[in-house]
Amino acid sequence: MYLKSIEVQGFKSFANKILFEFHNGITGIVGPNGSGKSNVADAVRWVLGEQRIRQLRGASMQDVIFSGTETRKPQGFAYVAITLDNSDHQLAIDYDQVTVARRIYRSGESEYLINGSACRLKDINELFYDTGIGKEGYSIIGQGQIDKILSGKPEDRRELFDEAAGIVKFKRRKAIAQKKLEDEKQNLVRVNDILSELEKQVGPLAKQSETENISV
């Protein structure tokens, strides 16, 4: 699996539609300070479902939309799509090529797509679990992040190792199963409460029914 292309339109400094094409190998992006190199990495992080705006160096999610310059009007939406070669089927989906896209409008309305079909953020997260590619993955290491990893808390570093070891999806499934179990336990407590209330009423009702039978 490898990244084939990134398409951006209206995302941060990229007002126009731009297609970055990559080939199997190493690609370097060079340019002067402030020309938008980190914005390319932000675009990938964003399309993979990043919700923490600080990770994208903004104040609100709408800040990812091209805000205009002296000579250009702001854009109404931001769109990013990444296409991955999946001929080795590392992603558990029946396609040799997978395109994941995200769009956000100024109104705040947003959508995610996998190969052109609308999907939930959850579907994107699940697609990339344990591949190292997700927004929590180790495939996007931003400026200063190596330092953060080395000097970070052991629990934070543990997350990276879990992802590399391929056990994140099992941990998530365990957490979901535990939550369901907890909800069911609560339901059982409620059912038992109702049952004991009803049991209290059985005696008086039986007596009442006997009295009514006698008087009839």
Residues that bind ligand ATP (CB under 6 A): 12-13, 31, 33-39, 63, 65-67
Query: Between the CA atoms of 29, 33, 34 and 38, what dihedral angle is there, to the nearest 10 degrees?
Result: 40
Give whichever of 75 and 131 is closer to ligand ATP, judged by the CB atom: 75
Helices (H) and strands (E) in the chain, counts: 5, 6
**What tokens appear for 135 in the block?**
């927004």
Residue 114 phi/psi, 5-degree rounding, is: -120, 120
Give whichever of 34 and 108 is closer to ligand ATP, judged by the CB atom: 34
> Is the distance from CB of 209 to CB of 203 less than 8 angstroms?
no
Give whichever of 5 and 38 is closer to ligand ATP, judged by the CB atom: 38
Indicate left, alpha or beta for 199 from its phi (over 0: left) and psi (-120 to 50: alpha).
Answer: alpha
- Rounded-to-integer distance, Cα 56 and Cα 206, Å: 69
Give whichever of 30 and 214 is closer to ligand ATP, judged by the CB atom: 30
- Rounded-to-integer distance, Cα 151 and Cα 140, Å: 18
Q: How far is the CB of 171 from ligand ATP (least distance, A)?
A: 33
Q: How far is the CB of 21 from ligand ATP (least distance, A)?
A: 19
Q: How far is the CB of 175 from ligand ATP (least distance, A)?
A: 35
Q: Which residue has the tokens 């300070």?
A: 33
**What tokens appear for 151 in the block?**
């000097």
Q: Which residue has the tokens 């049952």?
A: 195
Q: How far is the CB of 8 from ligand ATP (least distance, A)?
A: 12
Q: How far is the CB of 71 from ligand ATP (least distance, A)?
A: 12
- Rounded-to-integer distance, Cα 80 and Cα 59, Å: 19
Give whichever of 69 and 178 is closer to ligand ATP, judged by the CB atom: 69
Cα dihedral across residues 28, 5, 78, 160: positive or negative: negative
Q: How far is the CB of 13 from ligand ATP (least distance, A)?
A: 4
Give whichever of 14 and 129 is closer to ligand ATP, judged by the CB atom: 14
